[in-house]
């Protein structure tokens, strides 16, 4: 063990006359630990929210959507086979997308009507897993000659609809008459209700079979576009570019990141800003480390002079106090990492316990639309936080250590 490290460790041990300095040292350790702990917990929660949101987005939408810029797709059967043969594409399904109105007589709501092929859609999206009442397979049935309609939980609540009820679907693109354009109206039966966990989807989406959508909208054998499921959801941009190059104009492909770039960018920016803000807690703790070292240097003035008289170099004196400060930072970082991981990995039961003891609901499910409290620890985040805390602690030791190394033995022993 280098003698600088040995002396640095000795200086950390409490003596009867240096109890106050030891208390300041403990406060510095606690400050670093709290900063690291707060960073790990907050970033774990934000990462959990981000992953939960991505899961909900990808559960309802496809990874890549291919559209025709000049209108609908007539040759979609050939395009589906062509794209399913591409490397990286798992499955493909056609869809129809149009805006309509739902009317129950008393309530009216504008929604997005989506026509889907039930069999192939189950291979691309997880909508079938979000069904809370009924099934998507009922869309293919012709019970009582009334076509089926599947709507979101929030939309059903807003319109006062339940499974088995009927609703009028009104399309603004109707038939041309001598009186002008007349909206087209058709009656559908609610055969299922889904709950994706996204308020925007559950309150604005309605699904019918692809065949019913084509008949209702007078499209013939035409679809709006094709949805693709890919093997790697985080490299969809490259595959979308490949599809654009291969298909050419007027087709264009967009991946899920492009279609949701605003909210994903907001989450990423918020996470980065939160990291910077919470790092200030560690920075404040670093001032405590610097203050501790200044007081230790003042107390150990005689020891520094004796060490220099015995042949210790200025660099060795500087190392003693650098080691002391870094040890405080490393110990605080270790305690903070352990505490942060303990809380972040058990956040759900901790939140439940706090709510049970206090009776205060931290996150209302009705307001925040959450059925659980997401938390996800990413090892790279923990490593980055740990390195940042140790580097800040190291930077805080430089000036006090340099000041100690500049001390002249004669000046230090003048009044001894």
271, pLDDT greater than 70: yes
| Window from 72-86, 168-182, 228-242 with minimum mean pLDDT | 168-182
Q: Beta-strand (E) ranges in 47-88?
A: 64-68
User: Is residue 269 within 8 Å of residue 37, measured between CB atoms?
Assistant: no
Contacts of 266 (CB under 8 A, 6+ apart): none
pLDDT by residue (tens digit) across 198-233?
888 888 899 999 988 888 888 888 898 999 999 888
Kindly state the average pLDDT of the residues 109-123.
89
Whole-model pTM: value is 0.76
Top-ranked range on mean pLDDT: pick from 139-148, 151-160, 178-187, 297-306: 151-160
Residue-averaged pLDDT of the chain: 82
Average pLDDT of span 81-89: 87
Q: Is the pLDDT of residue 337 over 90?
A: yes
Q: Of 166, 65, 76, nearest to 125 (Cα)?
A: 65
Cα 136 to Cα 118: distance, rounded to the nearest angstrom: 7
pLDDT for position 10: 67
Contact 35, 389 (CB under 8 A): yes
pLDDT computed for residue 295 by the predictor: 78
Q: Which uninterrupted H or E stretch holds 252?
A: strand 251-255
Rounded Cα gap, residues 189 and 167, in angstroms:
6
pLDDT in tens, 24-39: 778 888 888 998 999 9
Model pLDDT for residues 160-212, shown as the tens digit of each residue: 888 888 898 888 776 665 555 667 788 899 999 998 888 888 888 999 999 88
DSSP H or E run through 404? helix 379-405
Structure tokens at 53: 């949101």
Q: What is the pLDDT of residue 338?
A: 94
What is the CB neighbour count within 10 angstroms for residue 43? 24
Which pLDDT score, from 0 to 100, does residue 16 have?
Answer: 47
Residue among 113, 95, 101, 97 nearest 167 (CA): 101
Q: Over pLDDT 70: what percentage of the chain?
A: 87
Report the pLDDT value the prediction gives residue 370, as an integer from 0 to 100.
Answer: 63
């Amino acid at each position: 063990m280098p003698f600088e490290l040995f002396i640095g460790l000795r200086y950390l041990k409490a003596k009867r006359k240096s109890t106050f300095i030891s208390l300041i040292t403990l406060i510095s350790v606690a400050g670093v630990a709290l900063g690291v702990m707060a960073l790990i917990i907050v970033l774990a929660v934000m990462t959990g929210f981000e992953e939960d949101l991505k899961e909900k987005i990808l559960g309802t939408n496809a990874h890549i959507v291919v559209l025709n810029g000049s209108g609908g797709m007539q040759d979609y059967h050939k395009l589906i086979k062509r794209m399913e043969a591409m490397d990286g594409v798992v499955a493909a399904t056609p869809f129809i997308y149009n805006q309509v109105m739902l009317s129950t007589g008393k309530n009216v709501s504008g929604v997005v009507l989506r026509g889907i092929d039930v069999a192939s859609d189950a291979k691309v999206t997880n909508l079938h897993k979000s069904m809370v009442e009924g099934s998507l397979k009922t869309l293919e049935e012709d019970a009582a000659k009334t076509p089926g309609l599947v709507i979101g939980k929030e939309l059903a609540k807003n319109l006062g609809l339940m499974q088995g009820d009927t609703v009028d679907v009104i399309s603004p693109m109707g038939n041309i008459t001598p009186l002008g354009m007349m909206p087209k109206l058709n009656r559908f039966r609610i055969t299922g209700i889904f709950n994706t966990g996204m308020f925007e989807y559950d309150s604005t989406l309605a699904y019918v079979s692809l065949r019913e959508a084509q008949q209702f909208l007078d499209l013939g054998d035409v679809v709006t576009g094709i949805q693709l499921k890919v093997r790697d959801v985080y490299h969809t941009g490259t595959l979308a570019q490949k599809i654009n190059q291969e298909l050419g104009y007027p087709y264009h492909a967009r991946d899920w990141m492009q279609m949701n770039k605003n909210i994903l960018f907001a989450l990423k920016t918020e996470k980065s800003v939160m990291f910077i803000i919470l790092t200030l807690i560690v920075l404040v703790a670093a001032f405590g480390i610097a203050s501790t070292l200044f007081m230790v240097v003042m107390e150990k003035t005689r020891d520094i002079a004796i060490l220099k008289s015995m042949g210790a170099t200025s660099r060795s004196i500087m190392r003693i106090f650098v080691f002391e400060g870094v040890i405080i930072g490393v110990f605080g970082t270790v305690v903070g990492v352990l505490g942060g991981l303990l809380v972040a990995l058990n956040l759900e039961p901790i939140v439940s316990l706090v709510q049970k003891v206090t009776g205060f609901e931290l996150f209302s499910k009705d307001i925040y639309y959450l059925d659980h409290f997401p938390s996800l620890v990413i090892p790279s985040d923990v490593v980055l936080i740990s390195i940042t805390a140790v580097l800040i602690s190291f930077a805080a030791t430089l000036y006090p250590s340099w000041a100690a190394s500049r001390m002249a033995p004669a000046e230090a022993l003048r009044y001894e």
